[in-house]
Amino acid sequence: MKSAYYDANYLFKFQFNENGLDDVRKHASTVDVLVCSLHGRAKVVSAGHCKLREGDITKDEFAALIQQLSIDTSGGAIRWIPVSGDLIARTESVYLEAPAETFLRAADALHLAGANEHGFNEIYSNDRHLLAAAPLFSLKGVNVIAK
């Protein structure tokens, strides 16, 4: 079974017709399952709630987002990696070795550590900071969105 690790930014594109959706959808069609750290699910829901708060979507559309995440999860389209103590320890070890000028947010570190710890060689995102930090976790950062 072929899988790809997507960060929350890429998964969110499926819920809302954001820039780059067609490119992300095209890549997603080449794999059987999308994988993301469990905190990414919370980030997708949080981003959806932000759209609700800003008036970009309705309460019903927000509910549909959460329902679709549940459907995709139970149907096996998305697999969520748990955030464990080992994953936190992995992020700590990378922070200890990272150059001082490295811009690495905690949520990005969890994505990167999760992808690495679960055997991925690549991580898919359009977040420039996450992509730049990917090598710290022995990962290749890939953005499939055409420039």
Give the chain's domains with CATH numbers: 3-142 (3.40.50.1010)
Per-residue model confidence as pLDDT tens digits over 97-122:
999 999 999 999 999 999 999 999 99
pLDDT of residue 119: 96
Q: Residue 28: CA atoms inside 13 Å, Cβ hemisphere, count? A: 20
The tokens of 100 are what?
């001082």
Per-residue model confidence as pLDDT tens digits over 118-135:
999 999 999 999 999 999
pTM: 0.93
